[in-house]
Amino acid sequence: MIAERQIDREAKRAFKRLAEPGSHLRSLAAHLARDRGWGVFVKRNGFANPVGTIDGKFVSAFLERDWLCAIDGGRVVLTDAGRSWYRRQTAPDDPYRRQHQSLAVRGIADRDGGKSTVTVNNAEGPLTWLRSRRDSQGNPLLTGAQFDAGERLRRDFERAQIRPHVTANWEADVKTPRRSGGAGGNEQVSDAAIAAKRRFHAALDAVGPELASVLVETCCLLNGLSVAERRLGWPQRSGKLVLHIALNTLARHYGYMSAERPCRPASNHWGVDGYRPSM
């Protein structure tokens, strides 16, 4: 087992280079004909020689956290989740509001058939907004596990190349893709996209249909809670509670949170073992 602080420290060191365009990891066993872990290769020297090395145990830890992913040619690159984690760790002030806003007008359709427009910040999704704000006790509105679970679902949604319509009927656009055999057919989907689509469906199956809709609306389509409530036909201000429950369930599915244990009675009660005081 590796301590979390060691993983974080090594990740900060390695991701500083891996965040550069084109940078990647390659096994040094093949590069140098001997096992010396993984090398960090960057564009500025033509990827000729590694500018740093990483022990294999840390690479495995990064892969388990979805901070890295393997691509063609034996290369391992930084994922969007890893890049976001690195930005949060190196942010000088508020790590969840570091990126500049990118406002855009998005068209939405309600369940009753009406259409409207809403201004969204593409650089700050609903989870980022909630994570950056605190309740009356000073606690973040979303925990780290909830935020990471939602971001992981969004990442699989994007990798799966799912293109939902503007309407609320997103289920029709998340079918298992078919490979195209010629021009004019469906777009060929890579194995990575197919795997992401399977993970996406497995996550939605794990939370159940009652909670899946709010996760798709907020985490994947990046609709705010008020927009999601209107699209799903829910009462106002009900979305936050349902989203918390959905994110907790999703976090347990991903292993970010342990299953809840049965609570012990808060006070001794008639009929419970040990309720009678000893003499």
Q: Convert the pLDDT of each residue in 202-250 to its tens digit.
A: 999 999 998 999 999 999 888 888 888 888 999 988 999 999 999 999 9
DSSP 211-259: HHHHHIIIIIS---HHHHHHHHTPPTT-HHHHHHHHHHHHHHHHTSSPP
Q: Does 83 share its domain with 106?
A: no
74: pLDDT strictly greater than 70: yes
- Residue 84 inside a domain? The answer is yes
- Residue 145 inside a domain? The answer is yes
Calpha distance 184→205 (Å, rounded): 32
**pLDDT for 191:** 81
Residue length of the chain: 279
User: Could you list the residue range(s) of the whole structural domain that residue 22 is in?
Assistant: 4-90
Q: Which two tokens stand for residue 122?
A: 């593409």
The residue whose two tokens read 């593409």 is 122
- Residue 126 inside a domain? The answer is yes
Q: Does 42 share its domain with 106?
A: no
Domain tally, the chain: 2
Q: Does 116 share its domain with 233?
A: yes
> Quick check: helix, strand or coil at residue 158?
helix
pTM over 0.85: no
Q: What is the CATH number of the domain that holds 19?
A: 1.10.10
Which stretch of DSSP H or E encloses residue 118? strand 115-121
Mean pLDDT, range 72-88, rounded to an integer = 86
Q: Does 112 share its domain with 209?
A: yes
Q: Does 81 share its domain with 129?
A: no
Q: Does 14 share its domain with 64?
A: yes
Q: Does 116 share its domain with 73?
A: no
Mean predicted lDDT score pLDDT of the chain:
75
Q: Does 178 share its domain with 137?
A: yes
Residue 207 in contact with residue 245, Cβ under 8 Å?
no
The number of angstroms, rounded, from the C-alpha of 3 to the middle of its chain's C-alpha atoms is 22
Q: Does 115 share its domain with 207?
A: yes
- Residue 33 inside a domain? The answer is yes
State the number of CA atoms in the 13 A half-sphere of 269 facing the CB.
Answer: 5
The residue whose two tokens read 């830890």 is 61
Residue 18 in contact with residue 78, Cβ under 8 Å?
yes
Residue 8 in contact with residue 14, Cβ under 8 Å?
no
By the 10 Å C-beta count (0-12 exposed, 13-18 middle, 19+ buried), 130 is classed as buried
Q: Does 42 share its domain with 134?
A: no
- Residue 25 inside a domain? The answer is yes
- Residue 261 inside a domain? The answer is no
Q: Does 225 share its domain with 156?
A: yes
- Residue 272 inside a domain? The answer is no
- Residue 276 inside a domain? The answer is no
**pLDDT for 131:** 83
Q: Does 213 share its domain with 121?
A: yes
Domain boundary among 29, 63, 90: 90
- Nearest residue to 196 (alpha-carbon basis) of 147, 246, 162: 162
Lowest mean pLDDT among 51-60, 87-96, 121-130, 230-239: 87-96
Calpha distance 259→257 (Å, rounded): 7
